[in-house]
Amino acid sequence: MAKRLEDYLRRVGSYLADEDREEILLEIRTHILERAGSRGEPTAEEVDRVLDDMPPPRAMAASYSEGQEIIAPELRNFLFLYTGILFAVHLGLTVVASIAGTTLALFPFFYAPATHRLSSILLFLPFAFVFDFGLVSLFSLPSASGLPI
Amino acid sequence: MTFDAFEKEMNRGFLQLLILMVLETPLYGYMIIKAVAGEGYEVEENSLYPLLRRLESKGFLESRWEIEDNKPRKYYVISQPGRRLRARLMEIWELQHRVIAKFKRGTGDG
């Protein structure tokens, strides 16, 4: 009994944010044991039956973060637009850097290596895109939208 | 959006109001589920517990842990701001109920 219950709680916990994790898990544990042993101490079979009926660990944990968006919904439309603009600038600088043979960098926003090899440029561009996407995402956090979360 | 998603969306507001009404008496999660199930309404764990935490974090519920029968139980009860919220939500619910009842007559749904 203990192993399966502990495994369920461990998996729920792995999806929860650190804050309040222990208390949430204690409350879920209590609930499972209460439901399983409504007429006294639960048996292994009773706990198993409750676990079979519980939401999957990820769904259980996800319900605690409902409404806590990583990207502010009102900024979502701009995410790809601004990423596209930033990447276009990055691409332009990369072309300029390769023609001029000079590394261009504006820390921490841009880095365009000096390389004449097309294969190196093609390898670099996906990294640049992911970096640009991450940078725009940082400015799209709900707290960055200036609205109450 | 599936029927389930619509149902979930509709139940969300109802459940908030229901919890604020049920918790006039201190109860822990499983007791709430049983109390409400006794009236024929099923509440899922992954709806109830996160909602209790959200209402508590906003100050509409108060809570305390108690050890009973060697089991730790977290009891929730409505707070004063929770009562004010409940009164406001009840007004909204009663208005919605009246409006739906009025327009339902025209739908032929009985």
Q: What is the pLDDT of residues B10-50, one digit of tens each?
A: 888 999 999 999 999 999 999 999 999 999 999 999 999 99
Residue A145 pLDDT greater than 60, yes or no: no
Q: What is the Cα gyration radius of chain A? A: 25
Handedness of CA B35, B39, B43, B48 (dihedral sign): negative
The tokens for B42 are 């099923």
CA A139/CA A143 separation, integer angstroms: 9
ipTM: 0.84
Strand residues in chain A grouped as ranges (E): 104-106, 110-112
pLDDT in tens, B55-107: 999 999 999 999 987 889 999 999 999 999 999 999 999 999 999 999 988 77
Which positions in chain B touch A63 (Cβ < 8 Å)? Answer: 46-47, 49-50
pLDDT classification of A136: cutoffs 50, 70, 90: confident
Best to test chain A binding among B49, B56, B75 (most A CBs inside 10 Å): B49
Residues of chain B neighbouring A27 (CB-CB closer than 8 A): 29, 49, 74
A149 confidence band (pLDDT: 50, 70, 90): very low
Task: For residue A124, give Cα distances in angstroms to A17, A132, B80.
Answer: 34, 12, 59
* Residue B71, φ and ψ in degrees, nearest 5: -115, 130
Instruction: Return the pLDDT at B107.
Output: 76
What residues in B contact A33, CB-CB < 8 Å? 71
Q: ω into residue A126 within 30 of 0, thus cis?
A: no
Residues A89 and A103: their CA atoms lie apart, in Å, by: 15
Range list of H helices, B23-79: 29-37, 45-57
pLDDT given at position B110: 59
Tokens encoding B73: 């139980």
Residues of A with CB under 8 A from a CB of B: 20, 23-24, 26-28, 30-31, 33-35, 54-55, 59-60, 63-64, 66-67
| Per-residue tokens: A81 | 């637009």
Across the interface, of A31, A54, A63, the residue whose CB is closest to B29 is A31
pLDDT of B4 higher than 90: no
Query: Is B47's Cβ below 8 Å from some Cβ in A?
Result: yes
CA atoms within 13 A on the CB side of A36: 23
Distance CA B1, CA A57 (A): 23
Question: B9 in contact with A at a CB cutoff of 8 Å?
Answer: no
Task: State how far the Cα of A59 lies from the Cα of A54, in Å rounded to an integer.
Answer: 10
Q: Torsions phi, psi of A21, nearest 5? A: -60, -50
Contact across the interface for B30 and A54, Cβ inside 8 Å: no
**Beta-carbon separation of A63 and B28 below 8 A:** no
Burial group, residue A140, by CB count within 10 angstroms (0-12, 13-18, 19+):
buried
> Can you tell me the distance from the alpha carbon of A66 to that of A64, in angstroms, rounded to the nearest whole number?
6
For residue B61, the cross-strand partners are B78
Distances (CA, A) of A45 to A1, A2, A49, A51, A131: 8, 11, 6, 10, 51
Distance between CA atoms of residues A37 and A44, nearest Å? 10
